[in-house]
Structure 1
Amino acid sequence: MFATYVHDLSPVILKFTDAIQLRWYGLAYLAGFLAGAFLLERLSRRKLWVLPPGSAGDFISAAAIFGVFIGGRLGYMFWYWPREHGWGWLTEDPGAAFRVWEGGMASHGGVLGLFVFTWFYSRKKKVSWTGLGDGLCVVAPLGLLFGRMANFINGELYGRTAEGVAWAMKFPMALVEKPKQEGQYLAAALEDAESVGGYFPAKVAKLAETNAELAAAVESRPNDFFGMRFEWMSEAQRSNPEVSRAIEPYLEPRHPSQLYEALLEGAVLFAILWWVRVKYPQAPNGLLTGLFFVFYAVFRIICEQFREPDSKMVGEMTSGQFLSLFMIAGGAIFIVGAMKKKWA
């Protein structure tokens, strides 16, 4: 039944104006920070974290800005962006680093950003760096859980083709992102959607109210405006099932890999780390950080087998798998150091 489902969820919860919108992706970040602050406060009150009660809110707020956002964005701009667009942005367009809606952020970069942030924060508060990081690592998977669910709602970072998989789904975004697969059918899919949806003339007429020249160009040369037409199609699809049925034959069934990642990197990883934290309150500092690095990396490597690569491959590995190898090595160092009680 799922293999015929064409993704039609909207990334927008509430739209006030074209520039002011409440989106699921932003809500996911907020939910992750709030849940993290709440649980860290609980750990503090049970003396399972190095910061005293009442400190979690300030810590999470600083971690969100200096760790997640800055680290995640710089990670994307210094690893994923150059692999597709080169390094010209450094000198020609340094402002691209601040346009987070262009490309997004990298989870590995966010992890590295938090790694650096906790070191400085621990020095400022005069607490154990690894003890501080252990608490953060326990709650971090919840942010990953909400983030991957938002990826699914957005219809992005979808999986590889999955013939014969009962729960496979079809993602319209593949029409504009994968030119060697669904992308070759983009023109035909748009024509069929416009013929059954009946929205194209109305959209052109509305566009003409503000830009008659552009509206005339879209109507006379539609193949020059695939991006605009795709956005119109996506909007119509969310309220008109006929549009979904029209484009369904042009789409490949794919793994909903965002949900795989939400389950493993989010829910399962959180359950493991929370259990260890509560079950073994005297666990040495650094152990939970090491477990987070290793388990996250292993789960990411597994999930990448089902996820459509969104960057150039590194040999036979995806970028996510390649970067995860370094996390496994780092996690092993933390675990060994913790067992030998080398971390303060």
Structure 2
Amino acid sequence: MPVFAIPFPMIDPIAIEVGPIAIRWYALAYIAGFIGGWWLAKRICAKDALWGGARHPASLDVDDLIVWVAFGVILGGRLGYVLLPYGIEQLKADPLEAFRVWEGGMSFHGGLVGAAIAVLLFSHFQKKPLWSTFDLACVVAPIGLFFGRIANFVNGELYGRVADVPWAMVFPHGGPEPRHPSQLYQATLEGVVLFLLMLIAVRFGGLKRPGLVAGLFIAGYGAARSFGEVFRQPDAQLGFYAHDLTMGMILSLPMIPLGLALAVFAARRRLAPE
């Protein structure tokens, strides 16, 4: 083992265990993300000055919206994992694998599609403005991303590539070589940095132009995830594609121009009268 390798802290993936009932850190991460997002979304909806004259969900609407989004994230994330190349081989070997959410295995891109469908359905059935609802969801999404990446680190999964940096770690399932703690890199980029970007956008009137914040989130996540993939070890069943691209990069890089186009389109809209 290299001199500078840091042993993995070996945190028990199970946070609380009482008899046959076991609560994992992975589940608590999702709960923390939803609770934190729910709390912040209610505060944002209660401040009409942030929205200018744009129609937006009321604070009470967030109670229903969080339920719709929770189902969308969990169903979309799990289906995305087992149907896309990430977990298709496991699904072929054991069809019940699709239902074992508690064992981990979620696709962000599948969760993003699931959440988008949930927001679309919520806006349609509850008669709420679509783009403002998307903006609201995107402002709070980095909270869940942060806790999710921390849970990946606790589980010792999605570790990084072999590295010789002083903070490299030896992960229990990653062999004897020290590796980048890429989960912590992604928690910082996709969670902290992206969250600060969302707050800055809100502070400077982003919510007054429906779709602007959503566009910045999509582009920001695409950039953060693509950069993080440089340090992350690709899933064993996928490996590298042409020009050392990973599946994460292939799915995330198109988000950058798509998000920027949406942000530019929203920025050119006329402001609604306050």
Question: Where do 1:147-226 residues align within 5 Å?
Answer: 147-163=148-164, 165-174=165-174, 182=175
Q: Does 1:85 align with 2:80?
A: no
Contact 2:169–2:178 (Cα < 8 Å) also in 1: yes
CA distance in 1, matches of 2:266, 2:142: 21
CA distance in 2, matches of 1:133, 1:338: 12
User: Structure 1 residue 56: deviation in Å?
Assistant: 1.4
Contact 2:139–2:199 (Cα < 8 Å) also in 1: yes
Q: Does 1:39 align with 2:55?
A: no
Aligned twin of 2:240: 313
CA distance in 2, matches of 1:112, 1:73: 11
Q: Which amino acid aligns with 2:239?
A: K
* Residue among 313, 326, 333 paired with 2:261: 333
SS at structure 2 position matched to 1:255: coil
Residues 215-270 of structure 1, C-alpha deviation per residue, up to 9 Å, x if partnerless?
Answer: xxxxxxxxxxxxxxxxxxxxxxxxxxxxxxxxxxxx11111100000000001100
CA distance in 1, matches of 2:101, 2:253: 26
Unaligned stretches of 5+ in structure 1? 175-181, 183-250
CA distance in 2, matches of 1:341, 1:97: 43
Contact 1:170–1:254 (Cα < 8 Å) also in 2: yes
CA distance in 2, matches of 1:58, 1:29: 17
Aligned twin of 2:9: 7
CA distance in 1, matches of 2:158, 2:63: 31
Residues 67-96 of structure 1, C-alpha deviation per residue, up to 9 Å, x if partnerless?
Answer: 1101101111221346x628847xxx6543
CA distance in 1, matches of 2:218, 2:195: 12
User: Structure 1 residue 27: deviation in Å?
Assistant: 0.6
User: How has the CA–CA distance of structure 1 residues 148 and 283 changed in structure 2, closer, same or farther, with 3 Å as cutoff?
Assistant: same
Q: Does 1:52 align with 2:54?
A: no
Aligned twin of 2:76: 71
SS at structure 1 position matched to 2:170: coil
Q: Does 1:271 align with 2:273?
A: no
CA distance in 2, matches of 1:16, 1:283: 48
User: Structure 1 residue 313: deviation in Å?
Assistant: 2.7
SS at structure 2 position matched to 1:13: strand
Unaligned stretches of 5+ in structure 2? none
Contact 1:159–1:258 (Cα < 8 Å) also in 2: yes
Q: Flag the structure with larger Rg.
A: 1
SS at structure 2 position matched to 1:80: coil
**More helix per residue:** 1
User: Structure 1 residue 171: deviation in Å?
Assistant: 0.5
Q: Which amino acid aligns with 1:321?
A: M
User: Structure 1 residue 343: deviation in Å?
Assistant: 11
User: Structure 1 residue 102: deviation in Å?
Assistant: 5.7
Q: Please give the root-mean-square deviation of Cα atoms over the aligned residues, in Å.
A: 2.3
Q: Does 1:107 align with 2:32?
A: no
User: Structure 1 residue 105: deviation in Å?
Assistant: 1.0
* Residue among 165, 177, 180 paired with 1:255: 180
User: Structure 1 residue 337: deviation in Å?
Assistant: 2.3
Contact 1:145–1:265 (Cα < 8 Å) also in 2: yes
Question: Where do 1:287-302 residues align within 5 Å?
Answer: 287-302=212-227
Q: Which amino acid aligns with 2:180?
A: H
Contact 2:142–2:192 (Cα < 8 Å) also in 1: yes
When structure 1 is superposed on structure 2, of 39-48 and 276-285 the one drifting more is 276-285
TM-score by length of 1: 0.71
- List, as ranges, runs of 4+ consecutive aligned residues in structure 1 with deviation greater than 3 Å: 86-89, 93-96
User: How has the CA–CA distance of structure 1 residues 86 and 42 changed in structure 2, closer, same or farther, with 3 Å as cutoff?
Assistant: closer
Q: Which amino acid aligns with 2:83?
A: F
